[in-house]
Structure 1
Amino acid sequence: MKTQITTILFLALCLACFFPFINPPIALAVGIVFAQIFKNPFQHKTQLTINWLLKISVVGLGFGMNIHKALAAGKDGFAFTIVSISLTIGLGLFLGKLFKVDQKIAKLISSGTAICGGSAIAAVSPIIKADAKQISIAIGSVFLLNSIALFLFPVLGHYFHMSQHQFGIWSAIAIHDTSSVVGAAQVYGNEALEIATTVKLARALWVLPVSVLFAVTNHTSLKNIKIPYFIGLFIVAILANTYIPNISLVAPSIVSLSKTGLTLVLFLIGSGLNYQSFKAVGIKPIFLAIIIWVFISIISFFGVTQLIN
């Protein structure tokens, strides 16, 4: 009986994500609260759903963007991307040794913080031959900070009077996972959403050179490297929206559904973040993740606010 009630409640909350009164932060918060009280009845299927729904939704957002604006946003974020990724991974590996954190966990946390959260961890883990426990610890650390960032960043952006452009780039650099970047930017405004999504996906491409670097240093075959193909579909969607006139008839509906899909993704992510999962992570990895995240957030904040109007 309890299992049936839990299943009905879970499905009802999933359905609620399709209504406008549930925005990304609320969806994540509801998911987290649900995880503390109940057990996700579809735990094994949820991760697969998150993976595919996130990709499909991000591609859908491309139908609301213009290629010329996207290129401009990518150009502004390029220098920040190179510097921030190098600093983040370098600092993460150094502090990992200093704090005597498992080196594979340190590499996973550093990659996840520097590039694109769980996607980067998933890409790097087979290259460095990380086991399930090391992967879960890294993902738990990164998702904990993602949850905080989704609530905190829009508040800080408004407090410091950041422009839509500035916030879009800052969130793409300083928030780990694509879902939380898009969620925070969506709350901040449509321009911030366009810029943040473009810069974050351009940043995600850096998982390839980082993976190659780890493959070389770990003497691993390059065949283990995963290519994020869905980014190419995102670019196709932008091109279609820019150059196909009739696409404007359906593009707004696609974008709206994509935003709803991302809201549902954040609820599903939250539904897997219970107290036990964080407790299993341990203090040192979380401490390492916090230091790296605070460092890159502060550095990128001052860089963006000083160099971009």
Structure 2
Amino acid sequence: MSKKILDLLPGLALAVVIAIVARFLENLLPIHLIGASVIALFIGMLINHYYKSDKLKPGLKFTSKKILKFAIVLLGASLSIKTVLTIGKLSLTVMIFTLLTCFGGGYIIGKLLKLNWKLSNLISAGTGICGGSAIAAIAPVIEADDNDIAYAISATFLFDMAMILLFPVMGRALGLSDMAYGLWAGTAVNDTSSVVAAGFAFSEAAGDFATMVKLTRTLSIVPVVLIFSVVSAKIKQSEAGEKQNSVYSRKKVKISSIFPWFILGFVALTMVNSIGVIPSEFGLLAKDISKFLMVAALAAIGLNTDITEMKKSGIAPMIHGFIISALVVIVALVVEYFMGIV
């Protein structure tokens, strides 16, 4: 047992050190344009490009898989269904249309660009829900490769940077009110830090509203992850049936494979927090720990990612990300227009 723990230490320690450095670099920025998760991922990829060691592998695998799942469970303690009621039906209406655009349009675009379904849906999830956090939550459910995770996060990050710069300019050009702009930014910009940056670049009131809308949008992780759990299990079941061509093989999928323990834990904590059982101080602490562990997990994913292998995917994933991001921006604005907000 002690030898197993010792084997995990080098990789785990390096991922934690990178996470600390990434958080430090994030805090140095006067405006949080880039989240620590993205910084950690890129640092890990850069290190892996120049230095590789078999001694790191056990700890990196443990961090990118087990620690990531534990971080997702803890995230549930900071989410509450009450947030939906706080924001109201306005954001939910826009959010439903943007999510349908992401996953419906993403499915078609992914097919046309001949992307594997895991990478295509990771990009759609990152664009539709909350950037790196959504990608990190869905990746273990569909058993995505580290290269696909890194590529999906890279794609959403690039378009987030563009949105931070363009959204305030477009919002003023369109003459949007603080509420209309906040709703637009909160439903169309990907990562939380990017929503905050884009929102407050317009006005303080728009920034506050955009942040609240973004929190509501984050809750969609719950149903989306559950849906992907079922979809992934069905695909495994179908593949098993094709390989063995027997009725027996089609009955082998377990309930635990459809609803993994970490998803059950995540949903359970979200529900418990929604009824007010979890103290707010504990919820905030759990969220901070969860975010740090996610940063460490993404550092490990970066350390497992081969830039050369990523290049083989070509430009198609970036085109996918661009089209989906553009569609979401347009759909969110159109829905607001028909609702009489713009």
Shift of 1:111: 3.3
Tell me the equivalent position of 1:77: 95
- Contact (CA 8 Å) 2:74, 2:287: kept in 1 or not? yes
Aligned equivalent of 1:230, options 258, 262, 268: 262
- Contact (CA 8 Å) 2:44, 2:303: kept in 1 or not? yes
Q: Which has the larger radius of gyration?
A: 2
Tell me the equivalent position of 2:221: 200
**Cα distance change on mapping 1:196 and 1:151 into 2, 3 Å:** farther
Tell me the equivalent position of 1:298: 326
The answer as to 2:62 corresponding to 1:48 is: yes
Shift of 1:117: 4.4
Name the CA distance, whole Å, in 2 between partners of 1:58 and 1:136.
17
Aligned equivalent of 1:35, options 34, 45, 52: 45
Name the TM-score, length of structure 1 as normaliser.
Answer: 0.67
What runs of 5+ residues in structure 1 fail to find an aligned partner?
97-104, 127-134, 176-180
**Cα distance change on mapping 1:118 and 1:50 into 2, 3 Å:** same
**Cα distance change on mapping 1:8 and 1:247 into 2, 3 Å:** closer
- Contact (CA 8 Å) 2:195, 2:214: kept in 1 or not? yes
Tell me the matched-pair count. 277
SS of 2:220 mapped into structure 1: helix
The answer as to 2:86 corresponding to 1:68 is: no
Aligned equivalent of 1:148, options 122, 145, 158: 158
Shift of 1:249: 4.0
Per-residue CA deviation, residues 90-137 of structure 1 (Å, 9 max, x unaligned), is: 2222332xxxxxxxx5333333334464765665579xxxxxxxx566
Tell me the equivalent position of 1:101: none
Shift of 1:299: 0.9
Tell me the equivalent position of 1:102: none
Shift of 1:198: 1.1
Moved more, 13-22 or 78-87: 13-22
SS of 1:286 mapped into structure 2: coil
1:130-141 → structure 2 map (5 Å cutoff): 135=145, 138-139=148-149, 141=151
Aligned equivalent of 1:170, options 160, 178, 188: 188
Aligned equivalent of 2:314, options 264, 278, 286: 286
- Contact (CA 8 Å) 1:168, 1:192: kept in 2 or not? yes
Shift of 1:298: 1.0
**Cα distance change on mapping 1:247 and 1:211 into 2, 3 Å:** same
Name the CA distance, whole Å, in 2 between partners of 1:246 and 1:25.
27
The answer as to 2:121 corresponding to 1:89 is: no
- Contact (CA 8 Å) 1:36, 1:274: kept in 2 or not? no
* Counterpart code for 2:223: A
- Contact (CA 8 Å) 1:62, 1:237: kept in 2 or not? yes
* Counterpart code for 1:92: G
* Counterpart code for 2:118: L
The answer as to 2:300 corresponding to 1:268 is: yes
- Contact (CA 8 Å) 1:183, 1:262: kept in 2 or not? no
- Contact (CA 8 Å) 1:205, 1:228: kept in 2 or not? no
**Cα distance change on mapping 1:274 and 1:260 into 2, 3 Å:** same
- Contact (CA 8 Å) 2:43, 2:299: kept in 1 or not? no
- Contact (CA 8 Å) 2:188, 2:332: kept in 1 or not? yes
The answer as to 2:279 corresponding to 1:247 is: yes
Name the CA distance, whole Å, in 1 between partners of 2:169 and 2:289.
30
RMSD: 4.2
**Cα distance change on mapping 1:226 and 1:112 into 2, 3 Å:** farther
**Cα distance change on mapping 1:268 and 1:236 into 2, 3 Å:** same
